Structure 1
Amino acid sequence: MEIVRENFQRELPYIKEAIEECEFIAIDAEFSGLHTEPNRRTQNTTLEEGYEDLRKSASKFLTIQIGISTFKFDPSNGSYLAKPFNVFVFPTTLTGYSPQGRCFLTEASSLDFLAKNRFDFNKWIYQGVHYMTKDEEEIYARERTKAVNNEMDNIDVDAANTMWLQDVIQRIGEWKNSKQALNFINIQTNSAYQRRLVYQEVRRYWPTELNARGQGGHINITKITEKELKIQQQQRQADLQRDIESCRGFREVIDILSACKKPIVGHNIVVDLAYILAQFVGPLPPTVEGYKKMIHKTFPTVMDTKYVSYTANALKGLAFDSSLGGLENMVGTINFMGCPRIIPHYRHQRYLSRDLAHEAGYDAYITGSIMIRMLALIAKHEAPVPTPLTKLEIQVKKNGKNEKRSYSSKDSKTSKTPKEITKPKKASPPSPSPVAAPAPAPVPAAPKKFSYADIVHRQRAPAATAAPVVVPAPAPPTPVVAAVEEEENEESESSESDYDYIQVSDFPVHEKPFSWQSPSVTTLQNVLHWGRSSHGCINLVSS
């Protein structure tokens, strides 16, 4: 699902719902650049040197597209339901205001790479979702509150505008005291500085009698009563609160991800986290230890597919290429047969049949899918999950009464089928003992659909058609035979069987292929791959 400025507020509750109900979240990001200077990292580059280069880049370049994909296990079919979101982000407010006059760098090679992968730069600029960091939100809220409450600091009047401003004040005063004048007056202004002076003087001389509003090149000033002034102030406060809340923009999604405390998965995620934290949370700390603490505080559980691919024993020798595309090919081999499927939600069919590599939403979706299949294989090798049992619950209708009986594949191979279990045989009625064995009479063929009464009828047929012999009078029929005769009458009225089998539930008891709390998974958490350096990884929870 693509998220832009136009539908962000409408889809925000749905994004929040997807995050709250999922098991884990995969993320990916695209940037305006990666290196402020030529990349000189080697195997001898220290962790501190590499982090300093990353910190500089994350503070000067932008995250321009973010992919978020949620994954939820579906026990009905043993698969994972995915909801990928692809979000364009641009550093402005709803009104186009950029806090602190934000400037950013671009790298020609990065833009060329994005262009070759069909990145829509027009959509990024025109429809990118706005956002602010927490510090920027606080500054913006203070400035807007002062403006709404007419608490702006006074500015000095320069010599070029002194005479003009005196004339404006005189015109406003004459208009206000005239009883025949209209209820408003328009003051023409030529610059933002002149507009600021008009607001300032109206606030100084007539704070509770006049109201000034900017309207396309002029200031509209109207008379106002005390009651109207109070209503306007209340409306302005409501608008202010709504504006402050909306100015957070996409940062609200980052706050939700942080608050949910669920595992965050990424590929080579140490770079993505640096850019996301610097852009939506706050400036990165100057030291590696501070950076590790910032990550762990914001996202308590983080996993890196690249680190897992070359660390887990069950995956040794399977990945010949540790790139995202290489791991995608790896989890599609025969070694991963039996691992759970990943199915996109019906509202998220964008990546079902199209390869959109290097689009953030697609990469997040693929990253999460790779992690699921790798962890499933690890759990299969280290802690096999028992084969689920098939349960079948059958509702039996006998003589107008409902009975429920269960069948499980746990029964031995020689056990009876569900129908054999739920259709017990009834005792045949006693037949008189003949003196001489009569010749067997032909038994009529069984109908296509028959009941227990049909079976009894066929069993009684030989005795009824036998040759007459001298035998004692047969005993009166037992209650069982009477019950059988009643069933025969019922059968003649209806062709349906006496037993109605209603399948209430027929499903495999699927279990999750792995647990985030299992030792084989927890040992892979909070350790991130770290590029071309001698140390190889960064442990977020180590001292």
Structure 2
Amino acid sequence: MEIVRENFQRELPYIKEAIEECEFIAIDAEFSGLHTEPNRRTQNTTLEEGYEDLRNSASKFLTIQIGISTFKFDPSNGSYLAKPFNVFVFPTTLTGYSPQGRCFLTEASSLDFLAKNRFDFNKWVYQGVHYMTKDEEEVYKRERTKAVNNEMDNIAVDAANTMWLQDVIKRVGEWKNSKQALNFINIQTNNAYQRRLVYQEVRRYWPTELNARGQAGHIHITKITEKELEMQQQQRQSDLQRDIESSRGFREVIDILSACKKPIVGHNIVVDLAYILAQFVGPLPPTVEGYKKMIHKTFPTVMDTKYVSYTASALKGLAFDSSLGGLENMVGTINFMGCPRIIPHYRHQRYLSRDLAHEAGYDAYITGSIMIRMLALIAKNEVPLPAPLTKIEIEVRKNGKNEKRPNSSKDPKAFKTPKKNAEPKKASPPPTAPVATPAPAPVPAAPKKFSYADIVHRQRAPAVAPAPTVVVPTPLPPAPVVEEEEVEDEMEESESSESDYDYIQESDFPAHEKPFSWQSPSVTTLQNVLHWGRSSHGCINLVSS
């Protein structure tokens, strides 16, 4: 599903519902650039140097497209239901005003890559969803509140506009005191500076008597009563609250992802997280430890498909290419037969083919699908923990005995210690010739249960006529014609106890078990460790000291 400025507010409740009901979320992002200094990182780059380069890039480039795909297990068929969203994001407010005054860099190679993969730059600029960080929202809220409450700071009047402003004040005063004048007056203005001066003077001379409202090319001033002023102030406060809430834009989705505390999955996600946090949460910390804490605080559980692919023992030697496309090909091999299927929701049929590869929504959908199949294979190869010892086994081991555990270890009564001085079993007598016994009387077989379709078919089939006799029966009057639907209705009523529905119990269709658990030891050991490319340290552990 594509999300743009036009449908974002309408689809926001649906996005929130998808996140709250899912098991985990996969994310991906596209950027305006990746490296402020290309080819700076080498095999000898330290973790601190690599992070400083990443931090510098995340603060200067933009995240221009974000993919979010939710996954929910369906126990009725053992598959996962996916809801992928592809979101264009652009750094403005709903009204087009950008309080952060954001300037950003672009990298020619990144834009060329996006263009070759049919990225719609016009849609990004014209329809990109607006957003603000929390700090930017607070600044915007203070500015808008002051404007609504007429608490804007006064500005100085320059010499060029002194005479013009004095004439405006005089005209407005004469109009206000005239009993024969209209209920409004329009003051022509040439620029934003003159409009600001008119607002300022009306607020200073007639704060509770006049109301000034900007229109195309002029300021519309009207007389107002105290009751109208109070109602107008309440309306402004309501509009202000709605404007502040809508100004958050896409950052509200990031807040929902953070609040749900569900696993976040990505491919080489350390880069995506840096850009997303810097753009929607706040500036990245100056140190690696601070960055790790910021990730862990925002998203408590994070998993990286790239790290899992070369770390899990069950996947050793299966992936020849650790790129997203390489892992997609890997999970489609015979080794992953029997792993659960991933089915897009009926409202999310955009990614049924691979034509939209490298679109953020598609990559997020593929990333989550890869993780599901990898974790399912890992769970198949997971060695189960031994069952806890029973009380009898514990006592036996305390006494220094080492008998084998019985097959039914869950039942304490099944464990029997050998008896002392047990007598050997007596040999059984040699077999004798079998004695013929009369055959038992045949037991009548249970009546065969027919399905509803068999019964109807049997009713329609012509009965086999008995052998003819000497006595010719008296001809009977013709039987009334019975409609086919009436026969079926009668059979359904008379043979309802013989219907298939009485024999099919709910237990005949057991619910499928989840292929893996996020709390299993084989999965928890792979969480919160992210791949760190082209460096000797290899990965970054979010929970290490």
TM-score (norm 1): 0.81
1:38 Cα deviation (Å)?
A: 2.0
What is the alpha-carbon distance in structure 1 between the residues aligned to residue 455 and residue 419 of structure 2?
A: 16
Q: Report the equivalent of 1:470.
A: 471
What is the alpha-carbon distance in structure 2 between the residues aligned to residue 475 and residue 316 of structure 1?
A: 83
User: Is contact 1:264-1:303 (8 Å) kept?
Assistant: yes
Q: Report the equivalent of 1:363.
A: 363
What is the alpha-carbon distance in structure 1 between the residues aligned to residue 363 and residue 420 of structure 2?
A: 52
- What's the secondary structure of 2:506's corresponding residue? strand
Distance 1:5 1:495, change over 3 A: closer
Q: Report the equivalent of 1:142.
A: 142
User: Is contact 1:435-1:471 (8 Å) kept?
Assistant: no
Deviates more, 1:408-417 or 1:419-428: 419-428
What is the alpha-carbon distance in structure 1 between the residues aligned to residue 177 and residue 159 of structure 2?
A: 28
Distance 1:464 1:391, change over 3 A: farther
Distance 1:173 1:320, change over 3 A: same
User: Is contact 1:131-1:251 (8 Å) kept?
Assistant: yes
1:475 Cα deviation (Å)?
A: 38
Distance 1:118 1:464, change over 3 A: closer
Q: How does 1:161-200 map to 2 (within 5 A)?
A: 161-200=161-200
Deviates more, 1:324-333 or 1:480-489: 480-489
1:382 Cα deviation (Å)?
A: 1.3
- What's the secondary structure of 1:277's corresponding residue? helix
1:353 Cα deviation (Å)?
A: 2.8
Deviations 1:327-379 (A, max 9, x none): 00000001111111111111111111343111000000000000011111111
User: Is contact 2:24-2:263 (8 Å) kept?
Assistant: yes
1:508 Cα deviation (Å)?
A: 3.4
Deviates more, 1:337-346 or 1:487-496: 487-496
Deviates more, 1:398-407 or 1:504-513: 398-407
- What's the secondary structure of 1:395's corresponding residue? helix
1:401 Cα deviation (Å)?
A: 58
User: Is contact 2:26-2:265 (8 Å) kept?
Assistant: yes
- What's the secondary structure of 2:505's corresponding residue? strand
Deviates more, 1:37-46 or 1:480-489: 480-489
Deviations 1:456-504 (A, max 9, x none): 9999999999999999999999999999999999999999789953555
- What's the secondary structure of 1:84's corresponding residue? strand
Q: Report the equivalent of 1:40.
A: 40
Distance 1:149 1:403, change over 3 A: farther
Deviates more, 1:389-398 or 1:226-235: 389-398
1:450 Cα deviation (Å)?
A: 7.9
Deviates more, 1:324-333 or 1:493-502: 493-502
Distance 1:508 1:153, change over 3 A: same
User: Is contact 1:392-1:506 (8 Å) kept?
Assistant: no
Deviates more, 1:478-487 or 1:156-165: 478-487
- What's the secondary structure of 2:394's corresponding residue? strand
* Structure 2 spans left out of the alignment, 5+ residues: none
1:386 Cα deviation (Å)?
A: 15
Structure holding more strand per residue: 1
Distance 1:224 1:406, change over 3 A: farther
Deviations 1:174-214 (A, max 9, x none): 00011111100000001110000000000000000000000
- What's the secondary structure of 2:503's corresponding residue? strand
Q: How does 1:58-77 map to 2 (within 5 A)?
A: 58-77=58-77
Deviations 1:417-450 (A, max 9, x none): 9999999999999999999999999999999988
Distance 1:190 1:482, change over 3 A: closer
Distance 1:224 1:430, change over 3 A: farther
What is the alpha-carbon distance in structure 1 between the residues aligned to residue 504 and residue 54 of structure 2?
A: 64
1:402 Cα deviation (Å)?
A: 54
What is the alpha-carbon distance in structure 2 between the residues aligned to residue 473 and residue 441 of structure 1?
A: 43
TM-score (norm 2): 0.80
What is the alpha-carbon distance in structure 1 between the residues aligned to residue 502 and residue 77 of structure 2?
A: 28
Distance 1:383 1:101, change over 3 A: same
Deviations 1:278-312 (A, max 9, x none): 00000000111100000000000000000000001
User: Is contact 1:4-1:127 (8 Å) kept?
Assistant: yes
Distance 1:353 1:427, change over 3 A: farther
Deviates more, 1:36-45 or 1:403-412: 403-412
Q: Flag as ranges the 4+ runs of structure 1 deviating above 3 A.
A: 383-506
Deviates more, 1:359-368 or 1:461-470: 461-470
User: Is contact 1:453-1:487 (8 Å) kept?
Assistant: no
1:39 Cα deviation (Å)?
A: 2.5
> Within the alignment, does 1:241 sit opposite 2:241 as a pair?
yes
1:16 Cα deviation (Å)?
A: 0.5
Distance 1:335 1:177, change over 3 A: same
What is the alpha-carbon distance in structure 1 between the residues aligned to residue 335 and residue 544 of structure 2?
A: 34
Deviates more, 1:59-68 or 1:421-430: 421-430
What is the alpha-carbon distance in structure 2 between the residues aligned to residue 345 and residue 418 of structure 1?
A: 61
What is the alpha-carbon distance in structure 2 between the residues aligned to residue 42 and residue 400 of structure 1?
A: 60
User: Is contact 2:406-2:415 (8 Å) kept?
Assistant: no
Q: Report the equivalent of 1:262.
A: 262
- What's the secondary structure of 2:77's corresponding residue? coil
What is the alpha-carbon distance in structure 1 between the residues aligned to residue 364 and residue 31 of structure 2?
A: 15
- What's the secondary structure of 2:25's corresponding residue? strand
What is the alpha-carbon distance in structure 2 between the residues aligned to residue 276 and residue 44 of structure 1?
A: 27
1:509 Cα deviation (Å)?
A: 3.3
Deviates more, 1:493-502 or 1:422-431: 422-431
Deviations 1:102-149 (A, max 9, x none): 111111111110000010001111111110000000000000000000
Identity %: 91
Q: Report the equivalent of 1:535.
A: 537
Q: How does 1:82-161 map to 2 (within 5 A)?
A: 82-161=82-161
User: Is contact 2:392-2:412 (8 Å) kept?
Assistant: no
1:37 Cα deviation (Å)?
A: 1.6
Aligned length: 543
